[in-house]
Structure 1
Amino acid sequence: MATLLDALDAAVNHHMAGRADAAEPLYRRILGTDPAQPDALHLLGVLHAQRGSPVQAVTLIGRSARVRPAAAQPWAHLGAALRAAGRPDDAEAALRRALALQPASADALEALGALLHDRAGYAPARLWLARALAVRPGHAETLLNLGTVLRDLRRFAEAETCFDAVLARQPSHGAAHLARAVGRLVRGDLRAGWEGFEHRWRRFTTPPWAGEPLNGATILLHMEQGFGDAIQFARYAPLVARAGGRVVVETHEALHRLFASLGPSVELWPRGSEPPPHDRHCPLMSLPRAFGTDLERIPASVPYLAPEPADVVRWQGRLDSGREGEFRVGLVWAGNPRHRNDRNRSLPVEALRPLLAVPGVRFLSLQTGDARAALARLPGDGVEDPIDGVRDFADTAALLANLDLLIAVDTSAAHLAGAMGLPVWLLLPFVPDWRWLLDRSDSPWYPSLRLFRQPRPGDWATVLGTVAAVLKAQAAAAQARLKARPKAQRTHGPAGGTP
């Protein structure tokens, strides 16, 4: 027994000192002798959670909680691990059990606040996080979480106070810099926001570029986040070429043909291969800072991306139904489920039903991923699904070029249509991504976008009801214009204007 206790003490000391590689074998040695040792199960699970392995953490901490069900801390950590593992209902049950056992458990209070924030429960999240902060004043992660909730409640001054408090103690705290930057960007204070936005991951050792003349140097512009981000900020690549250098843009395979339309001043480098020799580098999302972009100087000339003409013709042939002057509308209702805010930005396919009741519209799904299968839950065959013919974003662009309108949640398809100058109606949650700003129905990044915002968290019904009413008027106007034209001119002219 003394040996196991000594081993546990040594493991805990290593763990607390940040020596996880030394702590883990000791925890495992203890469990090899006593598989139900609750502290070793709990703390080895915590170690897995800290390493970003929530499923293993849930298994280990769950075993500890079953062995010692009256201990609050394992339930608190189990709840946090369940949240990270994408099991929010189980997480909430575990956290509330922890708080029933120990109402002042700061870990449980903070995790419950963060969980409610995930679910767009901003007001209750603030209350739980404030309680956690009262238990442990000055705790950096609690301050960060509370500041983020206050930011999403649009209590920006209070949010900045929280972020500033974190940075006063830990000046290099990257997450606090980013959280503060997002609050500034969403309010339109772009220049201040770009500075904080620089606290991101970098992959290259060459000097970063900050907008100075290149004088013939080679600069590598690289992706770092999603497809939508790459599409939005690829607009800067031809502008970089004007700084007098050779511009090489990293591209995912799915974007390669599309990005070829950026023009001859831009070379492409396939992501995943050895990068070409270069003198400077710049992440695509750092280009606005390099160009000193503010709301008045966003380079919003469109189109800056285009499909290949042969692809447009091919898709025109695929979509041609022989129906005279039909109004074609593309639909995207869900994003990548691994996105941190997907629960709030995506909507269930059933929410589209008010749109499908609009007469005179031919609906086509541009949905990809697991959410595509949800089409089967819609009645009848009111939405066509041509996505099997889409190989990459160049194909998506050609398909979009044959539509009159895209209605989408905040996904890469909306960015692509906007970059092509095509009409897009963007459906936004109450707390939008920073790039869509606040309380406006247009986007300075994409002139052809029209924004429809939730009036309150989770209220997609109002959004879709409004969109359906506007779509009904738009489709009726299109039909009226068709009837007013000579019969010989009544052919489908996709994307003929901005609805």
Structure 2
Amino acid sequence: MQDLIAARFQEGLAHHQADRFAEAQAAYGEVLTANPGHAEAWRLMSLLAEQFGRSDLARDWADKARALEPGEVHHLFGEGVALQQLGRFAEAETRYRRVLALAPEALEANNNLGLVLGRQGRNAEALAFFQRAIELSPGSPVFHNNLGIALTDLDRHAEAEACYRTATTLDPTHVGARHNLGKSLHALGRLEEAGQALQEALRLRQDDPRILNDMGVLLNQLGRVADAEMVYRTGLSLAPEDASLHYNLGLVLLKVGQYREGWAQYHWRWKTEDRPDNRVFIQPEWDGSPLPGGKLLITAEQGLGDILQFCRLAPLAAARLAPDARLILEAHKPLISLLRDQWPGIEVVGYGDPLPDFDAHLPLLSLGGVLEQDDQTIDGAPYLRPDPDRAAAWAERLAPLEGLKVGLVWSGGRRPWQPRVDAVDKRRSVRLAQLAPLASVPGVSFVSLQKDEPGLEARDPPPGMVLHDFTSDLTDFVETAALVANLDLVISVDTAVAHLAGAIGTPVWMLNRFDTCWRWELEREDTPWYAGLRQFRQPTAGDWPPVVEAMTTALAERTQD
């Protein structure tokens, strides 16, 4: 009987959390019929009455809960728990603070206040309450784990690691702490140790799709792509609707050239918790049909390089439409001036600007699947045209440079507000000093194409490297494209300028990290995306010297051609 009551209570809570109030009230009512002493059900019924505007019932039912758990502290704590379960974290915070004003050493109230502050993104404030809970109960692995989670969310991974290790020492079977330890070690770049921690978590709970997902991400970064695929598929057998598992499987499948299934899985990115865009449209997603008389909006997503790579598909999409249909391409604003006049009949609008009316939409990178792009159909020929007048002006400016004109880009765009993206940027980027061996090749004039803070390194280039820096004049991508069009070669890390060079037909040599992005596939020097792009891959994670050495040799050969 107690199991049935507990199950029905959880059903009521789930309905309540989903704003299905009538169903929630029915479930709580059944619980209270079977067990009139269920204080938490009375509390939740009181909260429902508040939402229905029945303050009289709310007071009566709150009084019943209070009578079952006498004492202001117990009642306030119970209300806090109920509100926390419903996701009403600000209200729960108020209750827990009132508890602590009356009883500062209330152990669970300190811990729970830390939790609800964390759910509101206030992890720095949460630390003090987790630390207080640990002071009151230093032997609790749960409190050490919660402190670690708050530190992790603040990117303080070394401190978080210590918390998780304490938690696992106190309770070797604490799955969450072992899982979190693996994630912190991964963030710290200690990949083998991270794998051991995640493997131990899976030994304790082999059917947890979240652990399987994180293990797959780690295996992919280690280059064990087949193992990562197997882990993701195992996770999906347990949680078929898990968007992160689908999305990460898509990344692996695209990386190994399995485009058909890869595109379908990759589209799940729009259902993940950290999806690329939070916008929701009432119009349907485009399925590739003609759309007679309608307007198709292709929406911008992800970074500048993604837009530059996939905008080539806009004319193909337009060709699928009926003659009287129109295509609208949304792009990030730095690219608007470059893209606006590239394709007659395609309207280009800026991301963040008011959108024109449209009848169907599709995210730009999902065009790959709708248009059935793969190694055989991707057209690697140049598809963007530099402005002829600006290109002529740059040709005149660069004419005095002797020998081979080579552009350099050594760093991607930094995004500290997106920790996962920023971590990838650190793995793909180098310092200008690491490119010093290139300066040993005679007959080359180097041109900096590096913008933003990393571009300041151009003021102090490596010994022997003469680096011409025109970046203060690169006010938009029209100027950058015009300059790049006059170079003989671009040497770049995996960032937007590499895509720009490939798109306009300037040869580009790309320094590629060991855990390569899916779009560059595996074990190949070329790419179907750009006919003029050559990849120079790290042999092991973080190992750039062999890449630069190979580039230096290739550059010397190029100058002798």
After TM superposition, the score normalised by the length of structure 2 is 0.77
How many equivalent residue pairs?
A: 475
1:128-161, CA deviations, whole angstroms, 9 ceiling, x for partnerless residues?
1111122333223112111222333454554344
Match of 2:352 among 261, 265, 272: 272
Give the aligned partner of residue 348 of structure 1.
431
Match of 2:480 among 372, 391, 396: 396
**1:325 maps to 2:403:** yes
Match of 1:8 among 77, 102, 108: 77
Match of 1:305 among 362, 367, 384: 384
- Quick check: 212-221 or 116-125, which moved more? 116-125
**1:148 maps to 2:226:** no
Give the aligned partner of residue 412 of structure 1.
496
Q: Distance in 2 between matches of 1:242 and 1:392?
A: 29
Give the aligned partner of residue 486 of structure 1.
none
Instruction: For residue 266 of structure 1, report the CA deviation from its aligned partner.
Output: 0.9
Instruction: For residue 432 of structure 1, report the CA deviation from its aligned partner.
Output: 0.8
**1:459 maps to 2:538:** no
Query: Within 5 Å, which residues of 2 pair with 1:62-461?
Result: 65=134, 70-156=139-225, 158-201=227-270, 203-243=280-320, 244=322, 245-302=325-382, 304-320=383-399, 322-337=400-415, 338=418, 339-340=421-422, 341-375=424-458, 378-379=461-462, 382-461=466-545
Instruction: For residue 190 of structure 1, report the CA deviation from its aligned partner.
Output: 0.6
Give the aligned partner of residue 494 of structure 1.
none
Instruction: For residue 382 of structure 1, report the CA deviation from its aligned partner.
Output: 3.6
Larger radius of gyration: 2
Q: Distance in 2 between matches of 1:266 and 1:85?
A: 43
Q: Distance in 2 between matches of 1:65 and 1:4?
A: 21
- Quick check: 357-366 or 66-75, which moved more? 66-75
Q: 3-state DSSP class of the match of 2:297?
A: strand
Instruction: For residue 247 of structure 1, report the CA deviation from its aligned partner.
Output: 0.7
Identity fraction in percent: 35
- Quick check: 226-235 or 68-77, which moved more? 68-77
Instruction: For residue 461 of structure 1, report the CA deviation from its aligned partner.
Output: 1.9
Q: 3-state DSSP class of the match of 2:268?
A: coil
Instruction: For residue 360 of structure 1, report the CA deviation from its aligned partner.
Output: 2.8
- What's the C-alpha RMSD, in Å, of the aligned pairs? 2.8
Match of 2:97 among 28, 31, 35: 28
Q: Distance in 2 between matches of 1:148 and 1:398?
A: 39
Instruction: For residue 408 of structure 1, report the CA deviation from its aligned partner.
Output: 1.4
Residues 258 and 394, structure 1, Cα contact 8 Å, conserved in 2: yes
Q: Distance in 1 between matches of 2:200 and 2:522?
A: 29
1:306-360, CA deviations, whole angstroms, 9 ceiling, x for partnerless residues?
221222233334444x244343332233332442522322223432222234333
Residues 261 and 306, structure 1, Cα contact 8 Å, conserved in 2: no
2:282 partner amino acid:
T
Q: Distance in 2 between matches of 1:369 and 1:55?
A: 29
Residues 410 and 431, structure 2, Cα contact 8 Å, conserved in 1: no
Give the aligned partner of residue 468 of structure 1.
552
Residues 407 and 449, structure 2, Cα contact 8 Å, conserved in 1: no
Q: Decide whether aligned partners of structure 1 residues 212 and 97 sit closer, same or farther in structure 2, where only a CA change above 3 A counts.
A: same
Q: 3-state DSSP class of the match of 1:347?
A: coil
1:253 partner amino acid:
K
Instruction: For residue 427 of structure 1, report the CA deviation from its aligned partner.
Output: 1.2
Q: Distance in 1 between matches of 2:542 and 2:183?
A: 17
1:236 partner amino acid:
L
Q: Distance in 1 between matches of 2:159 and 2:552?
A: 36
Instruction: For residue 65 of structure 1, report the CA deviation from its aligned partner.
Output: 5.0
1:355 partner amino acid:
L
Instruction: For residue 452 of structure 1, report the CA deviation from its aligned partner.
Output: 1.0
- Quick check: 200-209 or 31-40, which moved more? 31-40
Q: Distance in 2 between matches of 1:386 and 1:35?
A: 62
Residues 308 and 398, structure 1, Cα contact 8 Å, conserved in 2: yes
1:372-428, CA deviations, whole angstroms, 9 ceiling, x for partnerless residues?
334456445743332221222222212211222211111111111111121111111
Q: 3-state DSSP class of the match of 2:376?
A: helix
1:4-33, CA deviations, whole angstroms, 9 ceiling, x for partnerless residues?
354334423433454434423223334555
1:198-232, CA deviations, whole angstroms, 9 ceiling, x for partnerless residues?
21336322111121123332100111211111111
1:146 partner amino acid:
M
1:127 partner amino acid:
Q
Residues 261 and 305, structure 1, Cα contact 8 Å, conserved in 2: no
Instruction: For residue 125 of structure 1, report the CA deviation from its aligned partner.
Output: 2.1
Instruction: For residue 260 of structure 1, report the CA deviation from its aligned partner.
Output: 1.8
Q: Distance in 1 between matches of 2:130 and 2:549?
A: 45
2:442 partner amino acid:
P
Q: 3-state DSSP class of the match of 1:315?
A: helix
